[in-house]
Chains A and B, each alone.
Chain A
């Protein structure tokens, strides 16, 4: 493809333009353009999704039969720990920061992030701690293997007694990931508060921006607690302190509080932007305004506030006194209310719409379907007497995979397909996308639905072997997992071939409303440059015949000519 059909503004852009010279090299440099950084995050995160997925295949391979016969149990524990760690810290957090980088500036009409250098530094920490984490596979004794919670005193046992060990590298990597996330959060929050287009009051912001803001606020408030807790863990492990060591008078349960004070809200850091993606995509493909926009926006911050006061529901059976269990049961259940508001609002949005079931819409519908289910099992887990039975069993594994995979990853895929044309300038192949969806939905359901029953029957999580009565559920789950492995093939094919030679994308292929759709595809380096539109209406005016910005026709024409 020749470069002549591109606007010179686009060719100047440091982010990729199909066919432009030195296209791919930009990704391997310390680039401060949010759109390059966004794609850097997303592509590296998808790579680690494959790594984490490979680990999952080994785990499910081991669990397809009751005895521990595929790998040594120590290896199983290491792979299991690394699976969780890779998926959270190398796939999910980075990919969502990728979305933030692509979407926040373009959706609010900002030229870039508030602090572009900090932004690039935040990204480049990812390969640093990724390397540390991957290196831990090769140190004597193997990687960390005390589970992604890394509860002391087991995480402090260090059987070989070496200074450099898997656990130590793990803590270092997690701490660096925390620093990277804080850099990111400072940037996103500042950008949202300070750099909105003229006329874009808070109640004209797209919900994605609201949710990103609510999520990044959590990072700023809670992440320092985990980082502090992790540093104390490192000191106990490597420098002889006894914060958590009972033999020195320390308290192992203290760590659990630090860990969950952040790690519970962290799940909302992950899911809030997905609520944002749902709120963007349902209106576009139903051709209707988002139902109850203001309430949906505010519910995001209600979730932020509540998410900070529920963490003890992960410790109902840790010796937590009765009054505290009761208190945290109530706060946990309250979080279902703002969450429910959002769910009902999406359904209200679909109602009497003009639905178009293209790939992003399918992934959102599937994700919503699964999320309703996950919310219900969440309430069950919040019920203390039930949690005392199913806590730490496969029921919990099933619950959070229904959220993390069947909802969050579905939302991630929906987002990738929906904004693919915008940021690559190419259309993806709808047929492959639909195959991807169908395989993913079947695989995910087979994988994670049966695990609820294994848990109810009393199968503990994190086991390398189990009693034969649990076999049936595990066989089905493993088959589902392998189908998920297969589902990645059409996805990878689609992404690579569409980006390389897909049809050229127009500025607004979905007839969507939003500032990002008034930009050329892909957008120029500084988005609207010095010609930023003035927002005069709310973000979801489908069917309302109200223009989003002043002189809308002018911006549409400008984008098409580019």
Chain B
């Protein structure tokens, strides 16, 4: 049985049809490459899965049960984590504060529950070590390099035992060495049985780690096939529209 199943999902913003009648299913422990030109609707699609947007039409089912997400917290409760395309970081806060943004650790009781600074620094430090990042929990985002920022955004997905990790262009702004680290992480997640959706423009990355590739064009799904049965040339054709549909 699939972990997540989307049926006839659409999303429009006023007159703009960002995602149009997309159905797909995600299996446990697979890596799915999600590709498409700018504006194809990739980010909108994963934001619906992450609870940032509600679909205009269509349904989502997780483990066979209907899934309605009103806010990001709902998605996280169901084991869905996301790395946003723009990373969604606050420059004025520390790395640890950003990792825990929206789900801060607290200690104490009732109204006197206060932020657990020590606990958050510790956990964030452990995750950065796990990610082999030299990012330090107390540093401000403002002073960080692209790779360190990326690590902070990715670290958020490691806070809970996720079932599905959505990565929206996680390798767009980082060095070659760091790209390799991210791809390694994706493999490690898959080995733990976690489903990863990787949005990327970098054809080699997708063909390197993904088991399956889904192509969106102008909001519609135009391909969904195993990597082994496809080729970069074919996918490029599907993205640009040179190949209509497969």
Partners in one complex: no
Q: Which residues of B contact A (CB under 8 A)?
A: none
